[in-house]
Structures are given as C-alpha cells and as structure tokens.
Amino acid sequence: MADWLVTGATGMLGADLVRELTDRGERVTACSHRDLDVTDAGAVEAAVAGHDVVVNTAAWTDVDAAEDQPQRAHTVNALGPANLAVACLRSHARLVQISTDYVFDGTAAAPYEESATTCPVNVYGQTKRDGELAVRQTMPRDWYVVRTSWLYGEHGRSFPATMARLARERDTVNVVDDQVGQPTWTSDLAAQIVMLATSDADAGTYHATNTGQTSWYGLARAVFAMIGLDPDRVRPVPSTAFPRPARRPAYSVLGQRGWARAGLTPMRPWEEALQAAAPTLFGQVPSSSA
C-alpha cells in the first residue's frame, strides 16, 4: 500500500481520484487549494514529504481568463508543477502531472501522438506545456505527464450537465460543430491514472481520454438522446457564433499508442463512458437509452 498525495483534491478530477484511491483502500492525503498552494515551494516540499505518489490535479483552468492574466495562470500551471517536481525528486516520490490537449494547435488531420510537437494557441495551453517541461527537466525518472481532454464529471460544472439543463429551459440549443475532441469522464480517468501510477510503465507522456471522437454538437445530441429528448433540437453552429477571448483548437484528438507500449489497456469509448456516467450526471434516464 502506498501513500498518495492528491493536489486540487476538491476539483472535478481530484475528487474522483480521491474516491478511487479510497475505494481501493489506499492511504491518501487530499489537498485542496486552501490546504496546499502549489506555488509555495516550501509548503509543497513539506506536503510531499512521506508520500510515495503525488498526483497534481491543481490547475488554473479558466481558459479565457488566462488571456488577461497570463502570469497568474503561469504561476499555477507551470511554477506549481516545477515545485512539485523538485519536492518529489528530493522525497523519491513518483509524480503524475495532469496536462491537456490544448498543448496542440488543432491543425492536425489525425490523432496527436504522445511524441507530437506541441504548439499551443492560447495562454492556458502555453502554461500547461510549460508545466510539462518543468517536470521533464527536473525529474530523470518516476514521472508521468497525463494529457486529457473535454472532462466532465459529478463534481463541478460540465458540458453534458449543462446541455441537460438547457434542454429543460429551451426549445432548441445551438452548439458548435467545428471543434472535434474526446469527451472524458473523470471517473474513468481517475481509474486510468491509478493504473498507470501503480504500473511498471516507463516514465513519459501518456494520453488518457475516453476513445473515439466527436464534436461538441455530437456530444450534445448524445446527451439529448440519452435523456429521452429529440436530438434534432440541437442545432449546429460554427465557433464564430460564440466569440471567446481564447482561441480553441479545432481538432484535438489524442492518440493512445502509449498504452500499448506500456502493456496497459486504454480507456473505453466515450459513448460507453457517457452512458455509465448518466445516473450521476442526469439522474434517472429512460430505460430505452440503457
């Protein structure tokens, strides 16, 4: 049995990770931002001491606000992982750093493999890439960078839950259809992270998403169908219909070859994950969608 430290433990992913570890009978220290500021090097070193595995889910995730506050985003997303990497190196702890599909520019025509060149198109992506680099440059081994995308879950706001709410409030819902990615259930992701961190897989970068791909429009239609409503109530629109301060990658599908190289099983298709998540996201769903 290992001693785990989870930062950002009250966030969407962090909460599911703590639950996954607790259910497995692991010893886990769950630190919210109030418990541990990852930008405070001294506090980080003290918190990491005595732990075998550290999973950093703490992050500045407000993509649009990062455009106006790049230094604050960099402090959390880059300096924070750097502090954790130094502390883990000193304490001989394994570090799992959570990263994002936004480290890519979205111009690819095929899934981005783990070795693909990063080229973020917004401040958030830049700071997350800097966090990845800090871990790689600090730790010679015992580290994993886990990139994921389009997260949804029980603990916090999520796109599927928002679509279900809008379905009750509006006759039709406009959703962008020119951004393609991989919806990922945080409960599945938590289990994948634990599997990786307890394996003998080589240090490196791994892409952890539910497999397959869809657009936001396709995901919204799936949600409507799952809760027994007409998916044609979802209307496709271009991204220009919803101007945002930060540019989004148009295509951010992540390849999953790293799992095969490590002898580990990738995550299940996004449609299956959404079906499994439905009771926690939407409550009772019609039996015909099961």
E-assigned strand segments in 38-115: 53-56, 94-100
What is the Cα–Cα distance from 222 to 13, expressed in whole angstroms?
A: 22
pLDDT tens sequence across 251-272: 999 999 999 999 999 999 999 9
pLDDT category at 1 given cuts 50, 70, 90 is: confident
What is the Cα–Cα distance from 135 to 112, expressed in whole angstroms?
A: 21
118: alpha, beta or left? (left if phi > 0; alpha if psi -120 to 50)? beta
Look at residue 290 in the predicted model and tell me its pLDDT: 37
**pTM for this entry:** 0.96
The separation between CA 234 and the C-alpha centre of its own chain, rounded to angstroms, equals 25
The average pLDDT across 201-217 equals 98
The CATH number assigned to the domain with range 3-158+183-211+253-268 reads 3.40.50.720
Largest CA distance in the chain: 57
Look at residue 286 in the predicted model and tell me its pLDDT: 57
Contact (CB, 8 A) for 1 and 28: no
Domain parsing of the chain, residue ranges: 3-158+183-211+253-268
| Predicted confidence (pLDDT) at residue 285 exceeds the cutoff of 80 | no
What is the Cα–Cα distance from 121 to 252, expressed in whole angstroms?
A: 12
Look at residue 106 in the predicted model and tell me its pLDDT: 97
The average pLDDT across 165-184 equals 97
**% of the chain beyond a pLDDT of 90:** 96
Average pLDDT, the chain: 96
pLDDT tens sequence across 124-155: 999 999 999 999 999 999 999 999 999 999 99
| Buried b or exposed e, range 154-164, using 16+ CB within 10 angstroms | bbbebbbbebb
- Please give the positions annotated as active site: 124
Look at residue 288 in the predicted model and tell me its pLDDT: 47
pLDDT category at 283 given cuts 50, 70, 90 is: confident
The average pLDDT across 109-129 equals 97
Look at residue 168 in the predicted model and tell me its pLDDT: 92
Q: Give the chain's end-to-end CA distance (angstroms, integer).
A: 37
pLDDT tens sequence across 178-204: 999 999 999 999 999 999 999 999 999
